[in-house]
Structure 1
């Protein structure tokens, strides 16, 4: 078990035909860090939908040949996936497409519904037949059902939001419109911008807007619906203010790219602040501060600046290896750690090292990194973590679905330090999380157990597969 990526969504609408698939491709490339299991693009060419989806990275799924088979169009939506709900199969690749008498639709979703299983059961009892185990298909079904009773697709989306619980940032393309929606808590990021030719672009993170040359306009408000068509954009705010904002704090600590800005807060700056706070709370006598690439680097720089200890590049990352948490098996995860990170011996050998990382989940990866540094000659290792200890499961998109393998649930900080082989260990204080974003409007349920929504009875990753298996018995 480990922390897996979120998903990433990207959409574009233009007033005339153009190669929208290529723009989405580059947008997804910028969001690759959010999901490395699968990806897909759906193009809308005057109401005709054409798609390409498969398991793999963006560069693997979309070759020159596969991109050339996607037509020019006025709209397109794309998705990169790590599945917190549903298995790793091609059927679960997004965007999810619907062909209905009320019109075609393609939906891409980032987040996790805490009532997905409940909604799915009700839909199945009413005759719905599911083809995937993704909660995105559940969202698509509810929107389709609501569409039968509403005059517009945006009304159907609004009505659907009354039924959904949990985290969802959506980009939807219909025959004539592109719709973006963010849940009333604002768990997951979603922003939009505009290109020089007038195209509107929606993305999970602002870094994807920069990648395609779009000017960032703003983040969607929690609960906001944006409706784009050939006439422009309309904002609907009937769900805004329904709940207190609860953006996932781990977006700033780990998930998001450091060059992104989420809800007017720089991810890079928030990580620098985390490192500074660690230096204040857990000083160490050391010769060098190093970070674990990539999300530990900014916090390491903050620690070095605050402490006065020199910052060094002590670990080199192989850029062609995906994040270790994506690996489906423990053996593969260990293999990836060995080939993903290489120590810089002359930075580490004989030195007292402060090692900064973003989190410790089960401790397996951390032990491997510590061993790499010991083998490279580190005399002392003082580990500092830019997040509090994980103590609770997450129901909103972070793939922590039980406390069973969370090392902090079973061991004290001193015990964990001994298990990892470090001289000392310090976590970011949970009371200081708000200082990272200069706000108390965040969700930290995985650290403090305070859930903004009702807690589902069973939300383990394999719940649909187990439920389906039980039905067959």
Structure 2
């Protein structure tokens, strides 16, 4: 995943930029950067690896040495950014959030114009560099931005820093958010709206799908109006979003309470306590507890002093071990108890099985699992949530293959999506047995959509139902 923040000010903006970007640390774990423009000294940029240290630590020096009235910054799981570009548009810095599915096809076409790209480790192309190259195919930024929206298969939101202002562009179908904040001496553009509240900004507006604006210290000008169709990622509320975040006016924390309530209303087990897997499962569990009248408790604690971030190695065995090491059991709250545990989702299932096993090892009598979203059947095509997860790594796909004896096709998967169907029930039971849960009940798709509270046709649910 990733998140970005931009600021423009009549005074120096680096303080706001530094902390605004830092407030996006929950969205990325590997690369971070800041770029600023000063009317006297021009552009300055810094990028650091943040795999083993938080953003604040790595960028403390830059927070004191950088100066400028305008700037953008980004935290990302993948591409090093923002990057500085020199083109016929002049010099500018650019940062992106999203996923381009046809990146190789676009790059091959642009290379025909005698443009080159720097290959990243593994032979890939930095998607932010590609977006800049697409923009540079046109005579001005507005035409270039429209061209990006036209040819990209996937989702891409953009911040561009120029000497004249900061361009903020929400992806064509609004799969990710951009919120604009305002204060007396300037404006900001942020993936997470809460990121600017403690910096003295007030909400100015949320950009609509495909909307592009330019921010200057004197105002916000719309360059491309918002489109009518939106498909914002529902997983923002389930998992990505920080509890204090809101998207389309819907609070992440409130939505998670609603999910827990809906799970409780359809449930018939009577555990001794309800618990959430830290951190994203906690609000879901509180909602369940309040609705069911079953005490909420914390039978394990996430150890954060030396694990302040969510970085995981690429090696799956080590990932599983670290996930287990982070959670410290409280034996007095586990031994002899029937526990109902809520996690945001089940992807591969390995980590949740590890968690369940050590709860049993710690003396739990029963462990009932209630994922806060429906079974995941498809890898995300629009964000980079599942870049490191092939679809066949999904536990649903593996179980369906086991039950059917063949690789699951879209037609076969459709038979397993219906929560009232016999094949769905067989799949859930097989997952339950494989992961050693006492019982397993997923959140239903219709209940999850109702928990958000906006029209279903405005929500992207592709990873659950395959509908684009």
1:54 is paired with a residue whose SS is strand
Which residue is equivalent to 2:148? 160
Inter-partner Cα distance in structure 1 for 2:197 and 2:313: 29
Change (3 A) 1:68 1:324: closer
Moved more, 290-299 or 202-211: 202-211
The answer for unaligned runs of 5 or more in structure 2 is: 400-426
Deviations 1:43-76 (A, max 9, x none): 111271111101113034213x343332x21101
Output aligned runs, 1:166-177, within 5 Å.
166-177=154-165
Shift of 1:261: 0.8
Cα distance in 1 for partners of 2:142, 2:91 equals 14
Aligned: 1:273 with 2:258: yes
| Backbone CA RMSD of aligned residues | 1.7
> SS of the residue aligned with 1:40?
strand
Alpha-carbon distance in 1 for matches of 2:467, 2:233: 12
Indicate conservation of the 8 Å contact 1:43/1:50, yes or no. Answer: yes
Name the residue aligned to 2:351.
365
Unpaired runs of 5+ in structure 1? 1-5, 84-91, 452-473
Please tell me whether the aligned partners of residues 37 and 326 of structure 1 are also in contact (alpha carbons under 8 angstroms): no
- Using the alignment, how far apart are the partners of 1:125 and 1:211 within structure 2? 48
Q: Tell me: higher relative CO, structure 1 or 2? Use CA pairs within 8 A at least 6 residues apart.
A: 1
Deviations 1:391-448 (A, max 9, x none): 1111111332532110011222112112222100111112223212112110111111
Cα distance in 2 between the residues matched to 1:228 and 1:29: 21
Q: Give the drift of 1:119.
A: 1.2
Alignment match, 1:74: 69
How many aligned residue pairs are there? 427
CA distance in 1 between counterparts of 2:268 and 2:85 reads: 56
Return the alpha-carbon distance in structure 2 between the equivalents of residues 400 and 113 of structure 1.
Answer: 13
Partner residue, 1:23: 16
1:216 to 2:203 alignment: yes
- From 222, 246, 254, give the equivalent of 1:261: 246
Q: CA deviation at 1:102?
A: 2.5
State the partner residue of 1:180: 168
Contact 1:115 1:164 in 2 (8 A): yes
Q: Which residue of structure 2 lines up, in the alignment, with residue 395 of structure 1?
A: 381
Q: Distance in 2 between matches of 1:306 and 1:105?
A: 52
Give 1:164 shift: 2.6
Q: 1:329 is matched with which residue?
A: 315
Aligned to 1:58: 55
Listed as ranges, the matches of 1:74-113 within 5 Å are 74-83=69-78, 92-113=79-100
Which whole-Å CA distance do the structure 1 matches of 2:46 and 2:317 have between them?
A: 31
Is contact 1:283–1:307 with CA below 8 Å preserved after alignment?
no
Q: Residue 391 of structure 2 aligns to a residue in which SS? A: coil
Establish whether residue 445 from structure 1 lines up as the match of residue 433 from structure 2. Answer: no
Is the deviation greater in 115-124 or in 423-432? 115-124
- Match in the other structure for 2:394: 406
SS in structure 2 of the partner of residue 145 of structure 1: coil
Cα distance between partner residues in 2 of 1:158 and 1:364: 42
Q: Note the alpha carbon deviations across 1:301-352, whole angstroms, 9 max, x for none.
A: 0110111111112221122426657431113312311321112222222110
Do the aligned partners of residues 217 and 349 (structure 1) sit closer, same or farther apart at CA in structure 2, a change above 3 Å counting?
A: farther
Corresponding position of 1:303: 288
Alpha carbons 1:291, 1:314 under 8 Å: kept: no
Mean Cα deviation higher: 301-310 or 214-223: 214-223
Relative to structure 1, is the Cα distance of residues 413 and 325 closer, same or farther in structure 2, using a 3 angstrom cutoff? farther
Q: Does 1:433 align with 2:448?
A: yes
Q: Distance in 1 between matches of 2:270 and 2:447?
A: 23
The answer to whether residue 125 in structure 2 is matched with residue 138 in structure 1 is no
Q: Tell me, yes or no, if structure 1 residue 10 matches structure 2 residue 5.
A: yes
Checking the alignment, whether the CA contact within 8 Å between 1:272 and 1:300 is kept in structure 2 is yes
Deviations 1:349-368 (A, max 9, x none): 21100000011111111011
Whole-angstrom CA distance in 2 between matches of 1:136 and 1:282: 46
Q: CA deviation at 1:101?
A: 3.8
